[in-house]
């Protein structure tokens, strides 16, 4: 897996001050994507054990609320397989910090057997996340008043509440 950028002290991609990892590779190709360069799976730099250590170090200050995964597309199967062991490490090292993930796929697509993004890593990766921002960006539904998303079809899903109730629960701050 490759990544395009690591942002420290990011306040735009989730609640509080976050460390954000922008992974490379995306097959969604949303029209008017704000980062089309990240569609290429080899954009940026290789995600290495040293990259993991850097992110873990950046997550360590108390003022950092958590990690955000976005892209590109974290739920491309080849990205999930690399992210899963890393997210396990983050969850173990920082159990009180939140983990957010932005995906152009819908939550339903991630759960549907045979869909493109679903693979052997999907369920466990979802189980380690606190908030999932799902859905493709749709220019006709653009709404700059929305928090943490660009178009009104995208949802902020509270995955902890969703797991407890068994039905999709939206995140509210």
Confidence of residue 154 (pLDDT cuts 50, 70, 90): very high
Residues sharing a CB contact under 8 Å with residue 159, sequence separation 6 or more, in sequence order: 126, 129, 130, 131, 132
- How far is 3 from 85, CA to CA, in rounded Å? 16
Listed by start position, the domains of the chain span 2-165
SS3 content of the chain, % helix, strand, coil (to 5): 30, 25, 45
| DSSP 8-state class, residue 110 | H
Beta bridge partners of 137: none
CATH architecture of 2-165: Alpha-Beta Barrel (3.20)
pLDDT at 119: 98
Confidence of residue 67 (pLDDT cuts 50, 70, 90): very high
pLDDT at 109: 97
- pTM for the full predicted model: 0.96
């Amino acid at each position: 897996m490759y990544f395009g950028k690591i942002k420290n002290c990011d306040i735009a991609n989730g609640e509080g001050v976050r460390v954000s990892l922008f992974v490379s590779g995306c097959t969604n190709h949303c029209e008017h994507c704000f980062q089309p360069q990240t569609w290429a799976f080899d954009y940026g730099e290789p995600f290495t054990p040293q990259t993991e250590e850097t992110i873990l170090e950046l997550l360590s200050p108390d003022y950092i609320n958590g990690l955000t995964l976005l892209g590109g597309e974290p739920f491309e199967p080849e990205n999930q397989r690399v992210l899963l062991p890393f997210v396990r490490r983050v969850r173990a090292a920082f159990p009180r910090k939140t983990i957010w993930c932005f995906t152009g796929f819908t939550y339903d697509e991630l759960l549907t057997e045979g869909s493109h993004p679903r693979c052997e890593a999907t369920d466990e990766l979802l189980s380690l996340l606190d908030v999932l921002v799902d859905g493709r960006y749709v220019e006709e539904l653009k709404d700059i008043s929305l928090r943490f998303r660009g178009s009104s079809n995208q949802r902020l899903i509270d995955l902890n509440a969703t797991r407890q109730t068994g039905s999709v629960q939206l995140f509210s701050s």
